[in-house]
A = this chain, B = another copy of it.
Amino acid sequence: MAPNIRDIARMAGVSVATVSKVINNYPHISPKTKEKVMTVIKDAQFMPNSVARGLVKGRSMTLGMFLTTGLVHPFFVHILAGMEDSLKESGFDLLYLSQVNWNPDYSFVRHCMSRNVEGVVVFGFQRFDLNLDELVQSEIPAIFIDLDMLGKKAGYVTSDNVDGIRKSVRYLKEIGHTRIAFLTGGLESYVGKLRFEGYKQGLADLGLPYLSEYVYIGDFSRESGIEATQKFLSLDNRPTAIVCSSDMGAVGVIEAMKEAGLSVPGDMSVIGFDDIDIATHTVPSLTTIRQDTFGIGQNSIRLLLEIINNANCPPPTMIVPTELVVRDSCAPLA
């Protein structure tokens, strides 16, 4: 059985309070007793119980994380790695809160309070998801990933989705394209909407007209890439390039082009979004917009700790830059 603070006190011949003061590095402790207590602690391998400590201090040194159930987001590992990086030196651990979604009056807020978490990261949700409002309006520090939720203690971090797509459009224009089509992602999602916005702005930046027949409403999937391509190919005035809201969509486009006996990038330039592993391995390899997923994870925790540590800082927000990765799926227009 692990020793507790009373055992240590007894072994060191001092009071519990003294041990506590040593542990917490309080002043007014004689070097001699401090030394003695430290020795005993080392020998007994004592480590204060952070649960009990949390109870009295009102601080648990625990952050919470809500993930959408059944989320299978390919980047999540990178985000987690980033989170860990910020967590490492902070003394906080991260509690993955599994939602009891069969319970009609389950509440994020109550789950947080019952677990005494000092703040939460929220990822994989949509704006209209149940109970999210309650969380945003609560006093619980929260950072949302990829969702622009703002509250007294709630902020968010996301990639610069708008600028990412604008970069794609600009790049295509630079290599001569003007008939640039767009495959949206799911428009019910925050990032889906932003990327669509980026397309419109990108065209506007360059003085290109917005044509609704050059837009296909998709859902981030490979299938929607295939369907979009079929639609675009049937047009009288075919586009010469397609900007996609996801790499999977772009993969679908490449497949459909191949199926139609046409060449990428010869007959159609294609740009993806995300830079997933597959992007390197398609034929041709995929030019795409890379998200700094590690950075997103890292900053989500960093910002959360900021809210927690500065009682009245305004809820922080962070837009993480993206990067255009040029590979082989785009060609200059002849």
Contacts and interface: CB of A to CB of B under 8 A. Distances in A.
Interface in A33-90: 45, 47-52, 54-55, 60, 62, 65, 67, 69-74, 76-78, 80-81, 84, 87-89
Size bracket of the A interface = 35 or more
Interface stretch (A12-20, A196-204, A276-284, A326-334): A276-284
B107 A45 contact: yes
B51 A116 contact: yes
A304 to B, nearest CB: 14
Interface stretch (A94-102, A142-150, A171-179, A208-216): A94-102
Nearest to A2: B113
Nearest to A65: B96
A48 B278 contact: no
B277 A74 contact: yes
A10 interface: no
B49 A114 contact: yes
A273 to B, nearest CB: 16
A76 B94 CA distance: 16
Interface string A111-122: 101111000000
Contacts of A110: 2, 45, 47
5 contacts: A47-B114, A70-B84, A76-B76, A93-B115, A96-B96
- 5 cross-chain pairs, A with B, having the tightest CB-CB distances, nearest first: A94-B96, A47-B110, A87-B98, A47-B114, A2-B113
